[in-house]
Structures are given as structure tokens and as C-alpha cells.
Structure 1
Amino acid sequence: MSVALSVNLNAVAQLRNRRNLPWPSVIGMGRVALNSGAQGITIHPRPDQRHIRFSDVGELLALIDNEFPDRELNIEGYPSDDFVLLCEKHRPKQVTLVPDDPVQTTSDHGWDFRVSYKKLSPIVARLKGGGMRISLFTDPNPEVIKWVTQTGCNRIELYTGPYGATYLDPEQSKEELERLVQTADTAQSRGIDVNAGHDLTIQNLSALLARIPYLAEVSIGHALTADALEYGMAQTVKRFLKVCSGDRIQT
């Protein structure tokens, strides 16, 4: 069974925003990714709009609704009042709640569920009531899953940044992978589906899926966009989809 690939377009939007010009087109690159077989698009509209702009959200949803109705939009973000209202306005298939401070460069840790589950629970219920699937950004630590279950979320997204950072250290990579496996297994045993994302590459994705073949979805942006500079967006998406289906790619 293939794992769903959601293409994160934040890096494409950041490149566009370097100039007051409409290219590269976030919508255009999203269309290429979906035409190439990606099952979804991921975006993280931050308050300062430094990459994804609020106007991109409606345009990407229109792209999916009009041309790819069987695909999904995943909106990531910190659950501020403005973010929750944005999600309720657009009603994406999936919302991933992350504990980011607005000034962070990128997501770099999961929720501290011991102190956050009471805050997250009513927000999760509110968004689920609007028909959205809710995923929570989670560090690789099986001990936190007992708190995750208190939130009522549908899924977790495993933060794979520490795993991705071990690309020069095979032994450390094995240790980080084991933490991810233990956390995923614990979540699945509690009835919570598992996504994964952050610094996943063609190289490390194969090992991850070999150990956690039941992953529901992987969200990949930085490495995929970097590879697209070499192979093109369409070919890059197909390469990642091959890995998601269990094939190995020569690198």
C-alpha cells in the first residue's frame, strides 16, 4: 500500500516572494505536482506571509476543487484565533496544528502535550466539527502519546527533523529512526493514524517507510523543491512517489 505524498509548497512561495513578480507560480507548481500524482498539497500560511500568502489558500483550494477533487489540501499552523478562523473559512481536508512561534524560521519541535493538551482539545473539537481531519505535530517520544489521546485528534505528524539531520551519521540515524518507530507504533496502538514530515529526502524516506509502512502521509517540501531544481517538479514528484510505493531509487 502506497503512502500518500503531500507536496509542501512553502519553498516555492518563498522563492516567488523574493521579487514582486508572479513566478514561480505557487498555483502552477501545485498543478504540476498534482498532475504528476501527488495526493495532496501542504502549506503553512504564517502571520507575516513570508512564503505562503493568505490569498494562496483560496486559490489552491479552488485548484483542488475544480481540477483535482480527489486530492487534499493540508494547512499547517499555530492555532491562533486568526488561524482557526482561516481554517473555518476555507475548510481544508486536513489541518496540522504546530507549536510554532511566529518568528521561527521553520517548525523545529512538537507540542509539549503534558501542558498543551487542555488547550488543544477544544480547538481540535471545534475544527473537527467543521469536517476537518486534525493532525498534531509530535516529537519522536512514545511517552507523549498518552497525552495526545486526550486531545481527540485524528492523527499525529511525526517531526522527523532530528532524523533528517543525521544524514552524515548512520549510527545516529538508526537511533533517531528507532524513536520514530516506537512513537508511531504507540500511536497506532491507541487508534491514532500517523503522518510524518520535516527534512525527509529520497535517501532517508526509504528507511523510514521500511520500518513504518503504515504511515498515512508524508509531507515533503525543502528536499523535494531542491531536487526539482535538478530534475524538474514533475519528475521529482514521480521519484518521491516511487519511494512512497515501496520502490528504491538509485541516488
Structure 2
Amino acid sequence: MPTELSVNLNAIAMLRNRRDLPWPSVTHLGRIALGAGAHGLTVHPRPDQRHIRFSDLPEIRHLIDSEFPEAEFNIEGYPTEEFLALVEAARPEQVTLVPDDPSQPTSDHGWHFPSSVDALRPIVERLQGQGARVSLFADAEPDWIADAAATGADRIELYTGPYGGTFGDGEAAAAEIERLGATADAAIAVGLGVNAGHDLTVANLPALVARIPALAEVSIGHGLTADALEYGMAETVRRFIRACGHSG
């Protein structure tokens, strides 16, 4: 099956928050993205609400339920009690847990699974009990995958930042793809699904998808939003969907 696209709305929300105005509308651009064929919408509500606001979550939930019932809502975040309460109220189809410090500008590393199993297992179980699929942000470390599986999670999300940073250096890109691919192979071997995200673009997606044909979903925000300034949101989504391997 072709890899699905989830559009991360954080950069749009950050632009909106520069002024005390209701535009650009996070939900309206989410509507355009879903209408253009995106499989879902992703947000990462941070404690300081510097981009996605807590008040955005019920609006996005309503958008999906009322207009795109086949789409998925993916919420990312560090599992504080406040975050878990937000998730339980928003009822996303997927929750992606990340090991971020709240002050980080963006996610830049995965979980150290060998030391995190005991902490993550009850959180995974709690979220799955609410009906959510649980994905864990993961570095390209094949040897850690057995511990990721031991948490009971459904998927990992490969952190592709190092791969995204290799633009213009084909040898480095090939090495990063192989590390990611080896980690994906290990995950699939123990029954974990595989997502990916961070610094993915129309240019670098095809090679990643070719190496990991079972890649279930990519979550893309910054590069997609940048392209939307040039091509418009609908056409940008279509370009990324084609880069994911969909025909048409």
C-alpha cells in the first residue's frame, strides 16, 4: 500500500499566532489539505501553546468528524498528565509520543527505549484503552527496537531529521536511508508498524519510500507549509502524495 500523508498544522498555527487575528485559519487549511487527499492531520500542542492552541483540538476533531470521517487525527507530545488529558478529550485516532523537553523548538531525537520501557508501557496501555493507536518517536537504532516493542506500542515514527539534513550529499543521504531502513526492517520483524517524519520534502521522500515499502505514514509540516506558500495548500498536498508513491 502507498504511504499515507498526514499534514502537520503547527507551522500554520505559528504564523497565525504572530497576530491577534483568526487567520490563517488552522482548520480551514486543514480542510483544504484533507480535501486534496491527505490521509490525516497532525498537531503537537506544546505547554506554552506557541503554535497549536489547546482550543484548536476540538475544532480539528469536529472538522474530521463532520466532513472527513475517514481521515485520522494524530496528536504528538510528551506524555505529561496535562497532555494525556488533552488527548483523552480530543480522541485522536493516533497518538505519537515524543521525548521532548517543553522548551525545544521542535522534536530532534527519539526515545532511548532501553531505559524507557517501564515508563512508557503504562502510558501506552492507557492510550490504547481510549481507542488510540500509539506510535513512539524513534531514532535510527535497530538494536533498540526490541525494547520499543516491549512497551506494547503499535508503531514507531522514525525521526528523519538527520536524513533531511543531508540535502546535496548523496553519499550521506544513502547512509542515513540505510540506517532508517534497517530500523524499519527490525520494527516490522517484531510486528511494529512504521511511520516517519521530520524534514521530509518532495525531493527526498521517494528514496525513503523505496527503501521502506511498508512505510505506513509520513507526518510533514515545515517543508509542506513552505511549499504551500509557493504552490498553494491543495497542490502542495497533491505533490507530496505523489512523492509518497500514490499515482495520479
Superposition TM-score tier, normalisation by shorter sequence: over 0.9
Q: Do structure 1's residue 231 and structure 2's residue 207 form an aligned pair? A: no
Which residue number corresponds to residue 141 of structure 2? 141
> Which secondary structure state, in structure 1, belongs to the residue aligned with residue 47 of structure 2?
coil
Deviations 1:195-247 (A, max 9, x none): 00000000100000011111110000000000001000000000111111256
Give the alignment's TM-score, normalised by structure 2. Answer: 0.98
Specify the alignment match of 2:159 in structure 1.
Answer: 159
What residue in structure 2 maps to residue 240 of structure 1?
240
- Mapping of residues 111-126 of structure 1, within 5 Å: 111-126=111-126
Counting only pairs closer than 5 Å after superposition, residues 60-99 of structure 1 correspond to structure 2 as 60-99=60-99
Distance 1:72 1:156 in 2: 17
Alignment partner, residue 208 of structure 1: 208
Residue equivalent to 2:28: 28
Q: Is the 8 A contact 2:157 2:197 kept in 1?
A: yes
TM-score, normalised to structure 1, is: 0.97
Verify the 8 A CA contact 2:206 2:245 in the aligned structure 1: no
- In 2, the alpha carbon distance for the partners of 1:246 and 1:132 equals 26
Structure 1 residue aligned with 2:11 = 11
CA shift digits 1:60-107 (9 cap, x unpaired): 000000000000000000000111111111110000000000000000
Report if aligned partners of 1:206, 1:246 keep a CA contact under 8 Å in 2.
no
Contact 2:209-2:245 within 8 A present in 1 as well: no
Query: Could you tell me which residue of structure 2 aligns to residue 131 of structure 1?
Result: 131
- The CA deviation at 1:168 is 2.2
Identity of aligned pairs, percent? 63
- Runs of 4+ residues deviating >3 angstroms: none
The gaps in structure 2 that reach 5 residues or longer are none
CA positional deviation for 1:169: 1.4
Q: Paired residues, what number? A: 248
1:51 aligned counterpart, secondary structure: coil
Q: Tell me the distance in 2 between the aligned counterparts of 1:193 and 1:216.
A: 7
1:54 counterpart SS class = coil
Paired position in structure 2 for 1:181: 181
Aligned to 2:221: 221
Are the aligned partners of 1:9 and 1:41 in contact in 2 as well (CA < 8 Å)?
yes
1:122-169: CA deviations, max 9, x gaps?
A: 000000011000000000110110110110000000000000000021
SS state of the match for residue 64, structure 2?
A: helix
- Structure 2 CA distance for aligned equivalents of residues 135 and 21 of structure 1: 34
Q: CA RMSD in A?
A: 1.0
